Amino acid sequence: MAARQQPKGTGLGVQYVDLVPKSEWKEQPEANILTIDLPGFTKEQIKVTFVHTTKMIRVTGERPLADRRWSRFNEVFNVPQNCLVDKIHGSFNNNTLTITMPKETITKMPNLPETPKTVAERVEKLEEKRLLEVARKKEEEAEKIKKLLEEKEGIIRKLQEEAKAKEMAENRKLQEEAKAKEMAEARKLEEEAKAKEMAEARKLQEEAKAKKLVEEAALEKKKAVDESVTKEKKLQEVDYKKSVSEKVSEAVKSAEEKLGYVVEKEKKIRKGIMEKIKGKELTSEEKKSMVNVGVATLVLFALGAYVSYTFCSSSSSSTSSSSSSPTSSSSPSTKPE
């Protein structure tokens, strides 16, 4: 038994599977018997036809399978010449079709000579032979056509498979290209995000660095200003000390000049007084002058002590103010109790 799958050729999408059933001839004295194995078929699904022109028997049948598929067969068998065509009959039992073809029985008359064949019989036999030859040629042509159809179907199937494989390859290629494009876009977005993040981080670092530089510059400027202020204060203190020392020097010099004048005058008066004391000619006015000279001397000594005290106190106060001025600039001043 062999089967061949046919392509879908109907609008309903029915698919046929050709079946080549197993057949066997059995010759008996009274008849020729043809048996055909048809598993799965029923009597109603089988059709037997006798073709008078070609003296052949055609056996066809078809039955449904699963998934809109049908099994079918179409077989032709030659009828032997010595068969009685009108007495051919068949039966179907146990998945086997049996066709019985009874033979002609010719009774010969004993001791009778055979009659010669007439021209009509010879012509009939020639015609029968010709018909058999024609039928054989038709059968061969049908077999060739069948093989060509099978080859055509094979080519069509191969083309369909190639087209399907090509379509699948193209779809796979498109999917791979789409996937590669998607991965490239994702990689590009990731790189852009990373570059943006790095640029922002670099920008923040630069801003922090610039801020630090500005703060350092401000600190340097403040330090320079503080140094300038300190230097200016020191210069002012030096100038102040210098001016105070100059004033004190001038006051001392003036006091010395005055003191010298008074001392010189006192010497002159004392000398005159001493001369008069020696001559015992001292008057009351001269006694008063001596008292005034003593008082003037005391005043001069007091003036010198005051100038010295003032100079010493001014020097100590300027020194204490100069030593406390840097501290006051950096820390808040405290109120004295």
Question: Which string of DSSP letters, residue by residue, matches 49-111?
Answer: EEETTTTEEEEEEEEE-SSSEEEEEEEEEEPPTTB-GGG-EEEEETTEEEEEEEBP--PPPTT
- Which pLDDT does position 302 carry in this prediction? 77
**Phi, psi at 6, each rounded to 5°:** -100, 150
What is the model's pLDDT at position 5?
45
The residue ranking higher by pLDDT, 329 or 309, is 309
Burial of 241 per CB tally in 10 Å (0-12, 13-18, 19+):
middle
DSSP character at residue 169: H
Tell me the HSE value of 318 on the side-chain side, using a 13 A CA sphere.
Answer: 19
Sole residue written with tokens 């001043």:
333
Residue 301, both tokens: 């000594």
**Whole-model pTM over 0.85:** no
Side-chain half-sphere of 141: how many Cα atoms within 13 Å? 6
Determine contact, residues 82/103, Cβ cutoff 8 Å.
yes
Quote the pLDDT of residue 112: 47
What are the sequence ranges of the domains in the chain? 1-105
Closest-CA residue to 244 (of 315, 306, 323): 315
Cα-based distances in Å from 237 to 155, 244, 330: 120, 10, 19
Contact 233, 325 (CB under 8 A): yes
Does the 1-105 domain belong in CATH 1.10.3720.10?
no
The pLDDT assigned to 282 comes to 56
Looking at the chain, the whole-number percentage of residues with pLDDT higher than 70 is 74
Instruction: Kindly state the DSSP code that residue 71 receives in the 8-state scheme.
Output: E
Backbone angles phi, psi at 39, to 5 degrees: -70, 135
Q: 């005290």: which residue's tokens?
A: 309
Average pLDDT, integer, range 309-324: 58
Tell me, what's the pLDDT at 263?
67
pLDDT number for residue 106: 60
207: Cα within 13 Å, side-chain hemisphere:
6
Residue showing tokens 């000049």 = 257
**In which band, very low, low, confident or very high, does the pLDDT at 276 lie, cut at 50, 70 and 90?**
low
Whether the CB-CB separation of 72 and 38 falls below 8 Å is answered with no
pLDDT in tens, 244-273: 667 767 766 776 677 677 667 767 776 776
pLDDT of 334 higher than 60: no
List of residues 6+ apart from 234 with CB closer than 8 A? 322
Name 185's Cβ contacts closer than 8 Å, sequence gap at least 6: none
Mean pLDDT value of segment 227-243: 80
Spatial separation of the C-alpha atoms in residues 292 and 303, rounded to whole Å: 16
What is d(CA 55, CA 269) in angstroms, rounded to the nearest whole number? Answer: 200
| Cβ atoms within 10 Å of 125's Cβ, excluding its own | 12
Tokens of 85: 């065509």
- Residues 51-70, mean pLDDT to the nearest whole number: 90
- Listed in order, strand segments (DSSP E) in 83-229 are 89-93, 96-102
Q: Decide if 318 contacts 273 (C-beta within 8 A).
A: no
